[in-house]
Structure formats: C-alpha cells, structure tokens
Structure 1
Amino acid sequence: MKAIIPVAGAGTKLRPHTYTQPKALIPLAGRTILSIIVDQLVDAGITEFVFVVGYLGEKIQHYVEKKYPQLTCYFVQQNSREGTGHALSLTRDVVGDDEMLIVLGDTIVETDFRALIASPYSMLGLKKVDDPRNFGVAELDEEGNITRVVEKPQIPKSNLALVGVYKIKESRQLFECLQSNIENQVKSHDEFQLTDALECMIQHGVRFNGFKVSNWFDCGRKDTLLETNAILLKKYKLASNPVLPYENTIIIPPVSIGEGCNIKNSIIGPNVAIGDNTVINYSIVKDSIIGSFSNLYEVVLKSSLIGSDANIRGLSQSLNIGDNTEIDLG
C-alpha cells in the first residue's frame, strides 16, 4: 500500500506565512503538520509515500528526504492547481493498481490507522459537524454503507463530513473516474474534486464504508491552527522534548522549545511552540507559535503566529507575521 499526500496547495488562508513556507511545514506542537501525518502512517506500517507537490515543492522534498531517509518517497509535480482530483490523477503512473491511503496534507486526525489499512473495503473518514456546507459530505444507508458523496452541498442531507482520509482498494477505478471527470470537465466549485471521483465510483458499484475519527484538527487558518497547537501540546506532553532552564525566565506548560534557543528575562506559556535557534528577551508569549531563527525583544504576544527569521522589537498584542520580516514596534 502507498500513502498519497497532496501538499501542492498555496495555503492562501495562512498568508503571509505561506508566501515563503509550505503550509504543511508550519510548526505545530514542536513538530510540523506534515511530520505528524507521516509519523502516524509510518507507525501503522506504511513505508512508501507519494507527495503531490507544487508551490514551494522543493522545500517539501528537501524536508522529507532529510527527515525520512529510510522511506521510499516519490514526488509528483502539480504545476496548475486544479483541485484534489487533478492532483491525485497525476499519481497514476506511480501508484498503478496498488491500494492507496490518501491523507490530505492539512489533515490531522486521530484514528486506528492499522485497522483502517486492514479493512477489506474502501473506507472514507467521517466526522459529524455542525455546518457541513464547507466540506465534502457523505450520505449513508441504514446498514452504514455510503450511498452518495457530494462536495460542499448548499442543502446538505447529512452532517457527516469527509475529513480528508481515504482508503482506496479499487485504485484502477478511481483513476478511471478521475480521468473521465477531467476529460468531461466535471467540476465542483470550479475544481476537479476527489469527492466527485468517489461519487463516480459509487455509481459504478464500488462499496465504501465510513469510519469515524475520534479527533479532527483543522490546520487551515490562523485561529484554528493555534487551537490545534494548544490541544496537541497538551496531548503530546513533550516527554521527548524537556524544557530546559532559561535565565530569569518562567515557563508555564505546555510549551515546546526547539534546539539552540536563547531565552532570557521572559515568561513563556502556556500553549507556546518555538522553533529552533530563536532568541527571546524581556518578552511575554502565550498561546502562540514562533518560527525558527526569530528574534523577539520587549514584546507581549498572545494568539500570535510568527514566521521564521522574523525580528520584532517593541510591544504588541496579536500579530500574524510571515517569514523574513522585520518589525520595530518601539
């Protein structure tokens, strides 16, 4: 089985950070979004990965090859962003007829991946949501079989959202439906959607079962990314990343601090993740994510997302600063 992870999106909802950093590599609870996904699948026994890359794809490839040299990885280029269906259609030559596990590159879920892989049927991850109009939606019959899927319906007939995890046994049928939709310009919301290809498979008799996920974390916007960071910091407890003593500094857990950081005269936490080699002095930081190689001096930050190589001096309450930025608030 191969794992397919589409990470070609531009991450427009997380700009300015995604101008210089792929969304999948944004730090989260001492890791990255992508590493959390890959580690879950490696723990479940998957060793072959296909990454669909595009915008800043060379950073994805460099990161994966450096962090996971033991894995067999393929990188497929998506030059034009035409939706998840189009992205997956590009992997046909690499995947062939192998079974596949598709996990969208901004999707972090908690589920039993080993049981999912062992299932004799194709499976779609589902989660009940209050407003399903912003998601792909699945409709089930009385026996729990999926009878229909539709992308972002205006009048949903179900509150079961597709969470972005798909186990596909019938790969050939999927690629045939993807190709047919592209040739016939079958689009939803102006893009070729994976959801439409799955609906094509259902109409041709392929059986899909749903599986529930215990947690589904949204990493697509600043506010929900910070919420996810706080939840995962508490969950991981960072047993493998102990917080070292810093000069005249109070650490309020949960906090993740990267290697090579220099922190003095500050209060850090709770719910803070700091990248490697960052310098913080005379500052208060809480409920925030700080990138690597940044420099903070005399600032008060809360609910902030700070990119790498940023320099901030002065006083602030809430910032959304991209990479390679210099700000003097004094």
Structure 2
Amino acid sequence: MKAIIPVAGAGAKLRPHTYTQPKALIPIAGKTILSFIVDQLHDAGINEFIFIVGYLGEKIEDYVRQTYPYLHCHFVHQNERQGTGHAIELTKNIINSDEVIVTLGDTICEYDVPQVINSPYNMLGVKKVDDPRCFGVAEINTDDFIEHVVEKPAIPKSNMALVGVYKIKDTHFLYECLHHLFAQNIKTLGEYNLTDALECMIRRGVQFKSFKVKTWYDCGRKETLLDTNALLLKKNGSTIHETVQNENSIIVPPVTIGAGCVLKNAIIGPHVSIGPNTTVQYSTVRDSIIGAYTTLYEVVIDNSLIGSDASVKGLSRSLNIGDNTEIDFG
C-alpha cells in the first residue's frame, strides 16, 4: 500500500507564518504537522509515500528527505491549485493499481491505522460535528456503509463529516471518476473535489465503509492550532531536550522545549512548544508555540504563535508573528 499526502495548499488562514513556511511544517507539540501524519502511517507499515507539493514545495521536499531518508518518497508538483481531486489525479502514473491511503496534509487524527489499512473495504474516516456545512459530509446506513458523500452541502442530511482520511482499494475506479470530473468539468466551489469523485464511485457501485476517528485535531487556524498543541501536549506529556540551559526558570508542564534553548529567569508553560536554539529571558510564556532561533526578552506572552528567527522585546500581548521578524516594544 502507498500513502498519498497532499501538501500543496497555501495555508492562507495561518498567515503570516505560511508566507515563509508550508502549513504542514508548522511545529506543534514538538513535531511538525507532517511528521505526525508520516510517523503514524509508517508505524503501521507504510514505507512508500507520495507528497503532492506546490507552494514552498522545495521546503517540504528538503524536510522529508532529511527527516525520512529511509522512506521511498515521490514528489508530485501541483502547479495550479484546482482542488483535491486535481491533486490526487496527478498521482495516477505512480499508483497504477495499488491500494492507497490518502491523508490530507493538515489532518491529524487518532484511529486504528492497521485496522483501516487491512480492511477488505474502501474506507472513509468520519467524525460527528456540530455544523457539517463546512466539510464533506457522509450519509451512512445502519451497517456503516456510505450511501452518499457531498462536499460542503448548504442543507446537510448528516452531521458526519469527512475528516480527510481515505483508504481506497478500487483505485482504477477512483482515477476513472477523477477523469470523469475533468471531462465533464464538474466542480464544487470552483474546484475539482475528491468528494465528488468518491460520490461518482458510489454511484457506479463501489462500496465504502465508514470508520469513526477517536480524535480529529484542527490545524487550520491560529486559535485551533494552539488548542491542538495543548491537547497533544496533554496526551503525550513534556519533552525537554537534554541540552536546554535553565537558569532560575520555572517550567510548568506539559511543554516541549527543543535542543539548544536557553531559559533565564523565565516561566514557561503550561501548553508551550518551543523550537530549537531559542532564548527566553525575563519572560513568561504560556499556551503558545514559539519557533526556532527566536529571542524573547522581557515579555509576557499568552495564546500566541511566533515563528522562527523572530525577536520580541518588552510587551504583554497576544501575538501572531511570522518568521524573520523583529519587534521591540521597549
């Protein structure tokens, strides 16, 4: 089985960070979003990955090659973002007739991966949501088989949202239906959507079974990213690299602090992730994500997302600061 991970999106809702960093490489709870996905699939026995890259795709490729040299990886470029259906269609010549699992590059879910991979059925991950109008929606019968899927319906007939994890056995039908979308110019909200191809497969008699994910972490916006960071830290516990220098500082778990960090007269935590080689002096930081090679001096930071190579001095604010930034409120 091969894994397809689309990571070509621009991540507009996470700007300014995604001006310089792909959304999939934004750190949470000591790892990147992409690493949570790849590690989960690799632990289940998948060794061949196809990454669909676009915006800042060279950073994705460099990161994957450096972090996972032991994996068999392909990189497919989606030069024009025309939707998830268009992205998946670009992998046709690599997949051939292999079974695949598709996981969207901003989707972190907890589920029984081996059970899904080994299922004799095509499988779609679902989760009950309060307002399904923002998602693909699955209509499911009493035997957990899926009768219809619809992308962002104005009047949903179900509150079971598609979470962005798809196990496809009948890949020849998948690519036939994707071709059908292009031939008939079938778009939803101006894009060729994977959900429409799945509905085409269902109408042609392909069976899909649903599986419920235990947890679905939202990494799409600053507020939900910080919530996800806190939840994952609570679940996984603190990680403080042995090279961290701590002088008169208090650490309130759970936190993750990367290699080479320097803490001096600081209070860190709870729910804080700090990238490597960052310096925090005379500061208080809680419920925040701080990038690598960043300097914080005489600040009180709460509920903030600060990129790498940033410098912040002398304030008490909630911040959303991108990479390579210097701010001095002194």
TM-score normalised over the length of structure 2: 0.98
Q: CA 1:242/1:227 → structure 2, altered by over 3 Å: closer, same or farther? A: farther
| Contact kept in structure 2, 1:243 and 1:255, CA below 8 Å | no
Question: CA–CA distance in 2 between the matches of 1:311 and 1:245?
Answer: 19
Q: Which amino acid aligns with 2:224?
A: T
Deviation at 1:238, TM superposition (A): 3.7
Q: State whether structure 2 residue 103 is matched by structure 1 residue 103.
A: yes
CA deviations over 1:90-141 (Å, ceiling 9, x no partner): 0101111100000000000000000000000000001000000000000012
Question: CA–CA distance in 2 between the matches of 1:5 and 1:328?
Answer: 39
CA deviations over 1:34-93 (Å, ceiling 9, x no partner): 000000001100000000000000000000000000100000000011111111010101
1:275 alignment counterpart: 275
Q: State whether structure 2 residue 309 is matched by structure 1 residue 309.
A: yes
Query: 5 Å matches for 1:208-223?
Result: 208-223=208-223
Question: CA–CA distance in 2 between the matches of 1:123 and 1:202?
Answer: 12
Question: CA–CA distance in 2 between the matches of 1:88 and 1:287?
Answer: 36
Q: State whether structure 2 residue 297 is matched by structure 1 residue 297.
A: yes
2:186 alignment counterpart: 186
Deviation at 1:31, TM superposition (A): 0.5
Query: 5 Å matches for 1:140-179?
Result: 140-179=140-179
Q: CA 1:7/1:119 → structure 2, altered by over 3 Å: closer, same or farther? A: same
Q: Which amino acid aligns with 1:277?
A: N
2:322 alignment counterpart: 322
Question: CA–CA distance in 2 between the matches of 1:198 and 1:240?
Answer: 44
1:205 alignment counterpart: 205
2:72 alignment counterpart: 72
- Runs of 5+ unmatched residues, structure 2: none
Q: Which amino acid aligns with 1:182?
A: F
Question: CA–CA distance in 2 between the matches of 1:144 and 1:119?
Answer: 13
Alpha-carbon RMSD across the aligned residues, in angstroms, is: 1.1
Alignment identity in percent?
Answer: 64
Question: CA–CA distance in 2 between the matches of 1:256 and 1:66?
Answer: 22
Question: CA–CA distance in 2 between the matches of 1:224 and 1:326?
Answer: 25
Question: CA–CA distance in 1 between the matches of 2:222 and 2:240?
Answer: 26
- Runs of 5+ unmatched residues, structure 1: none
Question: CA–CA distance in 2 between the matches of 1:101 and 1:48?
Answer: 11
Q: Which amino acid aligns with 1:53?
A: V
Q: Which amino acid aligns with 1:231?
A: L
2:7 alignment counterpart: 7
| Contact kept in structure 2, 1:136 and 1:162, CA below 8 Å | yes
Question: CA–CA distance in 1 between the matches of 2:244 and 2:274?
Answer: 13
| Contact kept in structure 1, 2:244 and 2:259, CA below 8 Å | no
Question: CA–CA distance in 1 between the matches of 2:31 and 2:244?
Answer: 18
Deviation at 1:243, TM superposition (A): 9.0
Deviation at 1:242, TM superposition (A): 6.4
Give 3-state SS (helix, strand or coil) of 2:317's partner. coil
Deviation at 1:218, TM superposition (A): 0.3
Question: CA–CA distance in 2 between the matches of 1:197 and 1:52?
Answer: 18
CA deviations over 1:137-160 (Å, ceiling 9, x no partner): 000123221010000001000000
Question: CA–CA distance in 2 between the matches of 1:206 and 1:240?
Answer: 49
Give 3-state SS (helix, strand or coil) of 2:247's partner. coil
Deviation at 1:239, TM superposition (A): 5.7
Q: Which amino acid aligns with 2:289?
A: I
Matched residues, number: 330
Give 3-state SS (helix, strand or coil) of 1:260's partner. coil
Q: CA 1:57/1:44 → structure 2, altered by over 3 Å: closer, same or farther? A: same
Query: 5 Å matches for 1:49-64?
Result: 49-64=49-64
Question: CA–CA distance in 1 between the matches of 2:49 and 2:158?
Answer: 32
Give 3-state SS (helix, strand or coil) of 2:296's partner. strand
